[in-house]
């Protein structure tokens, strides 16, 4: 489009293509991060279950007198590790929630762009006076 001042703007279709490409890259990045978060959480939950099981068996053995009292320091370490796992799992859940919110916001931007693009296209495609009556 040219104006009397010699300024040329870019074709709106090219702008939509550029915006779509940029938003698509961002969506893929959010998805990649969400997959990383989920993989870390799944691995951590597996280790958490193993540590909790080991701690339970150790405590039971101590209560039955099957082990020495010096193993109590091992229970303390397992308890500390379990608490750290719980803290990290909670943090990963918050991060996952944030990724979902960001993805939802991005989807809304996609939807807004699509709606404004179709409204703009419809406005240009409609002959003057069409739709009025």
What pLDDT digit, counting tens, does each position of 38-88 carry?
Answer: 999 999 999 999 999 988 988 888 888 877 767 778 888 999 999 999 999
Short-list 31, 14, 16, CA closest to 106: 31
Spatial separation of the C-alpha atoms in residues 78 and 91, rounded to whole Å: 20
Helix 72-125 to helix 12-63 angle (10° resolution) is: 160
Short-list 25, 13, 24, CA closest to 110: 24
Q: Strand pairing partners for 8?
A: 2
- The predicted structure's pLDDT at residue 117: 66
Confidence band of 8 (pLDDT split at 50, 70, 90)? confident
What does DSSP assign to residue 2? B
Q: Where are the domains of the chain?
A: 27-113
- The predicted structure's pLDDT at residue 119: 63
Instruction: Write out the CATH class of domain 27-113.
Output: mainly alpha
Does residue 24 carry a pLDDT above 60?
A: yes
Tell how far CA 85 is from the center of its chain: 20
- The predicted structure's pLDDT at residue 99: 94
Query: Does the reported pTM lie above 0.85?
Result: no
Note whether 75 and 58 are within 8 A (CB).
yes
Does residue 102 carry a pLDDT above 80?
A: yes
Average pLDDT estimate for 14-36 = 91
- The predicted structure's pLDDT at residue 130: 40
More confident residue, 33 or 14: 33
């Amino acid at each position: 489009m040219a104006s009397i001042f010699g300024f040329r703007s870019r074709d709106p279709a090219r702008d939509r293509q550029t915006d779509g490409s940029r938003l698509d890259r961002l969506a893929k990045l959010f998805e990649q991060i969400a997959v990383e978060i989920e993989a870390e959480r799944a691995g951590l939950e597996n280790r958490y279950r193993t540590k909790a099981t080991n701690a339970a068996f150790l405590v039971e053995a101590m209560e039955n007198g099957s082990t020495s009292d010096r193993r109590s320091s091992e229970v303390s370490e397992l308890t500390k590790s379990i608490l750290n796992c719980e803290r990290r799992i909670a943090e990963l859940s918050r991060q996952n929630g944030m990724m979902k919110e960001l993805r939802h916001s991005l989807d809304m931007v996609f939807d807004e762009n699509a709606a404004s693009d179709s409204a703009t296209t419809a406005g240009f495609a409609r002959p003057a006076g069409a739709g009025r009556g």
